[in-house]
Amino acid sequence: MLNRRLFIGGAAVASAAVGKAAMAALPEPVIQTRPDTMPPLVPNTGRPYNPVVTLNGWTLPWRMNNGIKEFHLVAEPVVREMAPGFKAHLWGYNGQSPGPTIEVVEGDRVRIFVTNKLGELTSIHWHGQRLPNGMDGVTGLNQPGIPPGKTYVYEFVARRPGTFMYHPHADEMVQMAMGMMGFWVTHPKGKHPLIDEVDRDFCFLLNAYDIEPGSATPKIMTMLDFNLWSWNSRIFPAIDPLVVRHMDKVRIRVGNLTMTNHPIHLHGHEFLITGTDGGPTPKSTRQYEVTADIAVGQMRQMDFLADEEGDWAFHCHKSHHTMNAMGHGVPTMIGVDHSGVARQITKLIPDYMVMGERGMKDMTEMEMPLPDNTAPMMAGQGPFGAVGMGGMFSVVKVRKDQKRGDYSDPGWYQHPPGTVAYEFTGGAGGGGLPDPARFKAESAGLMPPVSRPAQDIEVKVRKPSGGHGAHGGH
């Protein structure tokens, strides 16, 4: 551990600055290198609670020291496998980006050692917590930045239960764009009138990166044109499914540390927003929803009863956020025959991606030559063929025969006979195909236009690259 050398922009930073004597008093830093969803960390010391499951992530173990929960976070460069075969060079904590989830119980006294193995100052802000001002982590305002090689200590009581995040307040444009963030859950002490006990409790962070096709390090100046929209720095189909047992009470906690809002949409069920940044919501404010818009810097906690079996899509509803590695300034090719042209263009412009002539879904089947270390745009394969989505997308799998506490992937849903949409071949119903009704505005005559243009104008909707037209080519 002490001899590990870390490379930041070509420079090797030895961690020897953290002296052996100092390390002896620190809790051993636990490092995670696997990107899989780790099983919940059931507490064996301290107050009991029902642990969360971090999607493609893990919970940081602690040690008890005279009644204080001690954690050790190490800020360092990491290699995150965002999808199999696609590795991003990010900054994170304890070997991963995002960092590990921290779970405590309301009233716990918490001591967090933060070791800086980056090449520049850092700090940690405990987003949403009630704490002494000097523990709030804003570099320059509340504390000096933690110099490279040094370890700082944060200590406070987790005063209110809820869903929180942590991230630097030091060179934050760079450090957050590079993936430095993590989740924090404070469980209620005993029964809470506004926090129901649930069978499964999932959490993840929304994050976004701008990584050029063929490269591995995010561009940190990007404000809008991110090309990788991820959950816990994973992109579909590399985001694990949220596996639940039929009739489970399910909670999903989501935090947003990107530069834009994300309307997160669940299929097949309705949920209640039972918690926000400020804690549990009053019951009188709760209404059933199927989409929760999560603004920048916000957390939302959604509760629902998983009473419909199946494989239910769960995704951001901004259509560009369910795609990967989009090239910008790409013309729409819908309606244009480009057979044979793609390969020739790609020879001239290596990262050029042609949009399919019938829409973008062609991209899922087309064998486009891509630069090395590029995420495929949309690569999810479902039981009925390609799922035309990537990015911020996963599947909530509800199964009758899933065991309690079993999070393993049960495979695709086996639909009961007669419950899947099917091709009309004239046989069913016996009545033949009814004539489709069509909108006939001009003939209705109820509200004729005041004046008619000299010539009829017909427009074609530019989709799906229309929103990026103003940026020009790369």
Q: Which residues bind Cu ion (CB under 5 A)?
A: 262, 316, 318, 321
Least CB distance to Cu ion at residue 174 (A): 22
Contact 169, 127 (CB under 8 A): no
What residue has token string 């590695």?
325
CA dihedral 127, 132, 135, 140 (to 10 degrees): 100
CB-CB contact of 207 with 258 (8 Å): yes
Looking at the Cβ atoms of 249 and 317, the one nearer to Cu ion is: 317
Nearer to Cu ion, 300 or 321 (CB): 321
CB of 292 to Cu ion, least distance (A): 12
The pair of three-digit structure tokens given for residue 274, joined into one six-digit string: 């039972």
**Pick 118 or 389: Cβ nearer Cu ion:** 389
Which residues lie below 8 Å from residue 360, measured CB to CB, with a gap of 6+?
Answer: 323, 377, 378, 388, 464
Question: H or E segment at 54?
Answer: strand 53-54
From the CB of 392, what's the least distance to Cu ion, in Å?
Answer: 5
| Shortest reach from residue 318's CB to Cu ion, in Å | 4
Q: Do residues 116 and 146 make contact, with C-beta atoms less than 8 angstroms apart?
A: yes
**Tokens 């236009």 correspond to what residue?**
449
What lies within 8 Å, CB to CB, of 460 at 6+ separation is 335
Shortest Cβ 235–Cu ion spacing (Å):
12
Kindly tell me which of 87 and 265 has the beta carbon lying closer to Cu ion: 265
Type of residue numbered 422: Y
Shortest Å distance, C-beta 183 to Cu ion: 18
Residue 121 vs 396, nearer CB to Cu ion: 396
Minimum separation from the CB atom of position 263 to Cu ion (A): 7
Largest CA distance in the chain: 87
- In b/e form, how buried is each residue of 2-39, taking b as 16+ CB within 10 angstroms? eeeeeebeeeebebeebeeeebeebbebbebeebebbe
Nearer to Cu ion, 296 or 345 (CB): 296
If the CB atoms of residues 321 and 399 are measured against Cu ion, the closer one turns out to be 321
CA pair distance 100, 277, nearest whole angstrom? 19
